[in-house]
Amino acid sequence: MSPRPEEAAMRREVVKRIETVIKDLWPTADVQIFGSFSTGLYLPTSDIDLVVFGKWERPPLQLLEQALRKHNVAEPYSIKVLDKATVPIIKLTDQETEVKVDISFNVETGVKAARFIKEYMKKYSLLPYLILVLKQFLLQRDLNEVFTGGISSYSLILMAISFLQLHPRIDARRADENLGMLLIEFFELYGRNFNYLKTGIRIKNGGAYIAKEEIMKVMTNGYRPSMLCIEDPLLPGNDVGRSSYGAMQVKQVFDYAYIVLSHAVSPLARSYPNRDSESTLGRIIKVTQEVIDYRAWIKKKWGSKINLSPELDNRLKIRDQIAPCNGEQQQNRDSEPSYNQRLALSLASTQQLSSGSSASSVSSLSGSDIQHSGMKFSMKGTHNQGNSYSPVSSGGMRQPVGNRGHHQYNRNIWRRKKHRDSLPISLSR
């Protein structure tokens, strides 16, 4: 699930092909990478975000579109010019790899955001671990994009930064902190305790939870704070979560994950084993066989082309600490550090903690009006964690409507092409 060198090599080739076309049109143009590929926080099928800087009165979208078609860089049907969007972009799918690419012009916010994220990755060494797991969790439920009713990657990263900034336990920010406990506490905070109606998230100046009334005073163009209100640390007056109309679906699946993982690490879990998954984390995250095959195809084709530039080598150092999270075949694990082992051990060690420790550690967060008295739920029988716990649901635990199960990458189907050296026939993304 985490970036591999051969995947970075493949993506660099995609960027190089597009950059060559751009430089042929405008030799002085500056092409920069931002987004997840820039920070190293990308999943196997994540998009590549590019921005082109130059001197134009208006973004030359149609001119670049024609050039890309002429050079057969992109699949013809895939090129789309969104000139009416808030940020006009060209969307395309690379002809050889079918990696998706978004190209914008003279937009500095994305590049600044990437630098901002990298600064916090240095400050909080645990941040990448949380982000990759959370991105996969939302991806397989179609909640990783605003237009599908989810939240953006930038919103998710800011939520994770705020979580670490304001965590009541000082040791939560240590590099050797229990990752499994942090993941459960993240799900508890944003799935149960955070007051979405009244509270906004602030990252700057050390972080804070602030009343939405205060945020509204500085918002521009008459906007009101959204349900998921996150103050933009780089653009005062902007609400990062403004377009996340399905934020409550995300809250719902976070709550679901909290219930599942809390049950999995409870002392009684051994009496009710989950035989459908190999690990504790596997109860909420799956990686499809199509994605495993796709990564194997990338390794076969680009494994011999690995030659990291110093800059990208720095970006991808995180990959040396993180290995696939779940669902990989053993042969794919042999050459990688075992991130899954670390997180699995972290989740297993939480069983040694008291059943109410997770609730108590974050119950003071978020300024919520709702009193959190714990939880009680059923799975393969009745499971009670103390007399003070109140019911969450009756008749056992069910996956919420917002959770689309473990079917991921289902919007775009890979098609076999003759030059693709046995690319998996139906790699769903």
- The structure's pTM equals 0.74
Q: Taking each helix axis from N to C terminus, what angle separates 289-302 and 5-25, rounded to the nearest 10 degrees?
A: 70
Look at residue 147 in the predicted model and tell me its pLDDT.
80
Query: Residue 13: pLDDT above 90?
Result: yes
Mean pLDDT of 398-410: 41
Mean pLDDT of 96-102: 92
Same domain, 142 and 244: yes
Look at residue 425 in the predicted model and tell me its pLDDT.
38
Mean pLDDT of 292-312: 76
Determine, yes or no, domain membership for 53: yes
Same domain, 65 and 130: no
Q: Which tens digits make up the pLDDT trace of 53-91?
A: 999 988 999 999 999 999 999 888 889 998 887 788 999
Please give the residue range of the domain that contains residue 198.
Answer: 124-287
**Which residue among 58, 80, 111 closes a domain?**
111
Determine, yes or no, domain membership for 355: no
Q: What is the CATH number of the domain that holds 54?
A: 3.30.460.10
Determine, yes or no, domain membership for 82: yes
* Of 152, 157, 124, residue with least CA distance to 47: 152
Question: What total number of domains does the chain contain?
Answer: 2
Same domain, 93 and 147: no
Query: Residue 219: pLDDT above 70?
Result: yes
Same domain, 93 and 217: no
> Phi-psi category of 47—alpha, beta or left, where left has phi over 0 and alpha has psi -120 to 50?
beta
CA distances from 196 to 191, 316, 358 (A): 10, 35, 20
Average per-residue pLDDT in the chain?
76
Mean pLDDT of 410-429: 40
Angle at 405 between CA 187 and CA 363, to 5 degrees: 10
Same domain, 105 and 128: no
CA distances from 380 to 247, 248, 352, 398, 418 (A): 30, 28, 22, 12, 49
- CA 128, distance to chain mean position in Å, is 10
Q: Which tens digits make up the pLDDT trace of 123-178?
A: 999 999 999 999 999 999 999 988 888 999 999 999 999 999 999 887 778 888 88
Determine, yes or no, domain membership for 340: no
Determine, yes or no, domain membership for 367: no
Same domain, 162 and 18: no
Determine, yes or no, domain membership for 428: no
Mean pLDDT of 266-289: 78
Residues above pLDDT 70, as percent of the chain: 69
Q: What is the CATH number of the domain that holds 137?
A: 1.10.1410.10
Determine, yes or no, domain membership for 374: no
**Which residue among 258, 287, 316 closes a domain?**
287
* Of 195, 135, 192, 196, residue with least CA distance to 160: 135
Residue with token string 């997180």: 343
Same domain, 279 and 132: yes
CB 279 within 8 Å of CB 399: no
Look at residue 358 in the predicted model and tell me its pLDDT.
41
Q: Which tens digits make up the pLDDT trace of 333-387?
A: 443 444 444 554 455 555 544 334 443 344 334 444 433 333 333 333 333 333 3
On the 0-12 / 13-18 / 19+ scale of CB atoms within 10 A, 197 is exposed
Mean pLDDT of 398-414: 41
Which band of pLDDT confidence, cut at 50, 70 and 90, is reported for residue 244? confident
Query: Residue 411: pLDDT above 70?
Result: no
Determine, yes or no, domain membership for 376: no
Look at residue 114 in the predicted model and tell me its pLDDT.
95
Same domain, 106 and 128: no
Distance (Å, rounded) from C-alpha 178 to C-alpha 126? 10
Q: Which tens digits make up the pLDDT trace of 41-53?
A: 999 989 999 999 9
Same domain, 73 and 186: no
Same domain, 129 and 107: no
Distance (Å, rounded) from C-alpha 183 to C-alpha 134? 9
Look at residue 236 in the predicted model and tell me its pLDDT.
82
Residues above pLDDT 90, as percent of the chain: 45
Higher pLDDT, 64 or 308: 64
Higher pLDDT, 238 or 377: 238
**Which residue among 287, 322, 339 closes a domain?**
287
